Amino acid sequence: MVNHDQVLALLKERGPLLPIHIKQELGGDTMLIGALLTELSTKGVKVTSVKRGGSPFYYTLEYKEALEELAIHLNEKDKRTFDLLKERKVLNDSTQTPLVRVSLRNIKDYAIPLTVNFQNQKMIFWKYFLISNEEAQQLIKKMLVKQVPNVKVKEEKKPPAVEKKDETKKETPKKDEKKPVAKKQDKKPQKKEEKQQTLSKKTTGDFILDEDDEDMMKFDEPDEFSKKLRKYFDKHDIEILEYNIVRKGSEMDFVLNIPSAVGNVQYYCKAKKKKKPNEGDLAAAYLQAQNKKLACLFIAQGEPAKKLMQRLEKDFKGLMLKVI
């Protein structure tokens, strides 16, 4: 029987792979492999947003560079955006066409959003996934300097000449010059250094590059799916004991305290922003609940297909399905 270790070893040896590739290599049941992959995705295995035939690829970080080869599966519009970003390495969101801006948000495997504070304004830039934050920062600085009037750029070139004068002035106190003169000389460089820092901020900005990370999102942030979940839990007096964001705004895991006629009962809950959850979704949630030795609650935005609903009680005993 196929297990986690076998699947993980294959991904580390061959990834990125589709579930069908894993089945061909290891055999086993498609539903079980899907459940194992879903569980591994919560433990470090990455899932692509790019798909082939509706199925994502699974990979480990050792194979991050191999994602470039998967760009052939992007649609024509997203492929053009991918090529543009790969060529320029960094793109300013505000200067792109509406179509490119939408496309950048679609190609999540390749376009990494960065937030930059510049002149007290937050700006969004997109970096190519294979370049470092340090390289992106240097490119963004060059782009922002071009936006600043030439007068400010010229002013920034003055301080180096002042620094040379300061060095000669610093040597003069050694010749027993009068203390009052030395004090005045000490004060002037400080003021000019402050001016230099101010000018530097005007031309380059205060850079705080925050790479968006799903783990940094708080549950109470205002995406629509989280709002619906919070409303449902509050309405039914359900207490959240633990939670984990699997995919920002679309998939979350919980351990819940749910009131019942015999007292509170702990449930493992899989919440998915999906109109028609499939057998693999339910099987993965059911397996997770069994591993935790908890009852299972699956929350979705719609019911599964009728045939799957009929099999629910037989194949997934104890699984509770709620639609919000």
pLDDT attached to residue 58:
93
pLDDT in tens, 210-268: 444 333 334 444 578 888 888 888 888 888 888 888 888 888 899 898 887 777 889 99
In a domain, 118, yes or no: yes
pLDDT attached to residue 205:
39
Q: Do 231 and 165 lie in a common domain?
A: no
Closest CA to 206 of 139, 272, 91, 121: 121
CB burial readout 273-296, b (16+ within 10 A) else e: bbeebebbbbbbbbbbbeeeebbb
Confidence of residue 92 (pLDDT cuts 50, 70, 90): very high
pLDDT attached to residue 27:
85
pLDDT greater than 60 at residue 139: yes
Amino acid at residue number 8: L
Question: Residue 85 belongs to what domain range?
Answer: 74-146+207-212
In a domain, 285, yes or no: yes
Q: Which two tokens mark 68? A: 């470039």
pLDDT attached to residue 150:
43
The CATH number linked to 281 is 3.40.1350
Q: Do 227 and 175 lie in a common domain?
A: no
Cβ-based neighbours of 255, under 8 Å, separated by 6 or more: 240, 241, 242, 243, 266, 267, 268, 269, 292, 294
**How many domains is the chain partitioned into structurally?**
4
**Parallel, antiparallel, or unpaired: how do β-strands 295-300 and 265-272 relate?**
parallel
Per cent of the chain over pLDDT 90 is: 24
pLDDT attached to residue 245:
82
Q: Do 140 and 172 lie in a common domain?
A: no
pLDDT attached to residue 148:
55
Highest mean pLDDT among 121-130, 177-186, 254-263: 121-130
pLDDT greater than 50 at residue 298: yes
pLDDT greater than 50 at residue 168: no
Over range 140-145, report the average pLDDT: 85
Rounded CA separation 290/275 (Å): 24
Residue carrying the six token digits 């699956």 = 298
Closest CA to 36 of 62, 14, 54, 10: 10
Highest mean pLDDT among 119-128, 184-193, 213-222: 119-128
pLDDT attached to residue 153:
34
Amino acid at residue number 290: Q
pLDDT attached to residue 307:
77
Closest CA to 129 of 109, 114, 143: 109
Rounded CA separation 30/7 (Å): 13
Helix axes 19-26, 30-40, angle to 10 degrees: 120
Confidence of residue 208 (pLDDT cuts 50, 70, 90): very low
Over range 132-139, report the average pLDDT: 90
Final residue before a domain boundary, out of 53, 69, 85:
69
Q: pTM here?
A: 0.49
Confidence of residue 10 (pLDDT cuts 50, 70, 90): very high
Rounded CA separation 178/161 (Å): 25
pLDDT attached to residue 310:
74
In a domain, 197, yes or no: no
Q: Do 48 and 131 lie in a common domain?
A: no
How confident is the prediction for the chain on average, in pLDDT? 77
Q: Do 95 and 163 lie in a common domain?
A: no
Final residue before a domain boundary, out of 38, 69, 100:
69
Q: Do 33 and 54 lie in a common domain?
A: yes
Q: Do 131 and 181 lie in a common domain?
A: no
pLDDT attached to residue 43:
84
pLDDT in tens, 40-63: 888 889 999 998 888 899 999 889
Q: Do 220 and 314 lie in a common domain?
A: yes
pLDDT attached to residue 147:
62
Query: Which residue has better confidence, 153 or 99?
Result: 99
Tell me the Ramachandran region of residue 44: left when phi exceeds 0, alpha when psi lies from -120 to 50, beta otherwise: left
Contacts for 217-221: CB closer than 8 Å, 24+ residues apart: 217/245, 217/248, 219/243, 219/245, 219/252
Query: Which residue has better confidence, 258 or 199?
Result: 258
